[in-house]
Chain A
């Protein structure tokens, strides 16, 4: 028996410091890299949609070149948002039960409906109303499968009279207005899934949904900047620097609010130093140093704040080429920083024991259901879908009535 116990202790000891409940040790970490990607992707959706809403609802004309691109980005990422969850389930074949027999007190169950609402009642409808006129035109001019796709997408509504288009525009505007709170709801709800867990002091937090919404806006705008720039470089087209400046401005303001609220959370946690604070402090310093201090705070927040803040006051002194480079750098830093933030939330909540007596370590594996290889595949998928969507709906050779990048008049 002593030998057996020794072998057990020897197996456990390298991974845990202090005491953790036996069941926590058995299923650690219960939620891995896939659950990190889930709020990350969902946040990008919400942020990209808010970005598009700036054009449609708030009439920020300078952002028109990225309007359709933002909407398609939101769609590509939304289509993949639940995939990490699905891959993570012990019984993915039973996942439909969430929609058929939802348990109404469960945040996860209601998320299914919020997701469905956002996909079908907001995003797809807004895209359809925006693209309908083009679908009709392209359906008439494009041959083969491509033409068939456009004709199918019109769902038989081929009236492109001024009256019909005015109605399209009005409905699209209404959907956009509904879409803004829906986007907040979508990602705020993801925050609530974590914030509602009172058993875990790292997660159970009333402002978790607010933090998620704000970081989603930041990451979504950064993603739109990133994709717009990459697309322009791939198409060898000049960037609309005015559009980039305005995106940079909104990114800066969103980042200021996000950083303020996250700092408030940090200060509150430190000042109130409630039960479990010291184990969480140790965990944050030891287990999350690179992702929290370096990734989230330094690279993802302070550096972009400094650069974007400087550009707000000294924009005209910085040449266009350097400005473009700085915007791209900031976008990449923020995208990495928000990914680190999701990691810190999801994994941080599992790096310490609910006994508040021990911390755990975790080595990200390459293969397997929780390995980083699958994570990279799942994170690449929205980009692949977006490529298809861009080829289909933002093609350079097809005439359009909408806001396509590089086809706008000079601002």
Chain B
């Protein structure tokens, strides 16, 4: 009996201790009065609205001090050009060409494909997919990558050992090893901004509102997230992998991975 009471008591003590430890070891850029359990962030992207201006990639680099080298991005834009089928090919669509020069930062150069050969062209913004079952968090050997209760997936750069396992595990190519800090880096949803009532830099700057961002636990009047999912059929990237992304896409073509 005594042992049972002792066990229950120890359990009750252990829970807050574990929480305190988790908080201590999971450093974020949120202000001290921010309660992550009261929010659930989500982002929606409308492919048809993206014009490939690349301002989002540029704003992200500036806001988050992402390494300037042309291959490191927390968000980037891909351009898809689907060519017309070759004559007598019995297909509806031709070759698919994808590029993302400098991550789309600063816009895209004119396509090398002549205009009359293009069947369809569109831009796809990419960022961390905020997976519910994030493989990057699962494989991190020290827990430097962690899921926050409000839906962000963050990296503690003071704890990351730079093994690169999370980069290999991310199916979407959203992570990179920073050449400056030698730790894994990724989109944080501008955690330092959203926890202070601001929008992520990429959402803030998008001129066509191709990026819609919101808080599922605190819907506002005429909530853009609700409107987005009412208006569009939404999809996620690589759904077969079971990562259950919380970044939703509207008007996603089958060629996009």
Contact = CB atoms under 8 A, between A and B. Distances in A.
B161 interface: yes
Nearest to A85: B163
11 contacts: A2-B109, A6-B109, A21-B76, A21-B172, A23-B72, A23-B73, A23-B173, A26-B71, A97-B161, A106-B138, A108-B163
Contact of A22 (B100, B140, B159, B177): B100
A114 B75 CA distance: 38
Nearest to B143: A103
Nearest to B163: A89
A105 interface: yes
A199 B171 contact: yes
A198 B240 CA distance: 10
A25 B103 CA distance: 11
Enumerate the 7 nearest inter-chain pairs by beta-carbon distance, A residue then B residue, closest first. Answer: A90-B162, A26-B71, A21-B173, A90-B182, A199-B171, A109-B141, A19-B98
A336 B89 CA distance: 46
B173 to A, nearest CB: 3
Interface in B142-200: 142-143, 159-165, 167-177, 181-183
A30 interface: yes
B174 A98 contact: no
Contacts, number: 152
A152 B87 CA distance: 83
Nearest to B103: A22
B168 A91 contact: no
Given A94-B159, A354-B172, A107 B257 contact: no
Interface of A: 1-2, 4-6, 8-9, 11-12, 18-27, 30-31, 85, 88-92, 94-95, 97-98, 101-103, 105-109, 112, 193, 196-200, 275, 349, 353-357
A103 B257 CA distance: 29
A199 B103 contact: no
Contacts of B135: 197-199
Contacts of A357: 96, 98, 257
Nearest to B257: A355
B72 A91 contact: no
Contacts of A105: 138-139
Contacts of A103: 140-143
A90 B171 contact: no
A345 to B, nearest CB: 12
B249 to A, nearest CB: 15
B161 A199 contact: no
Contacts of B175: 23
Contacts of B97: 19
B178 to A, nearest CB: 8
Contacts of B28: none
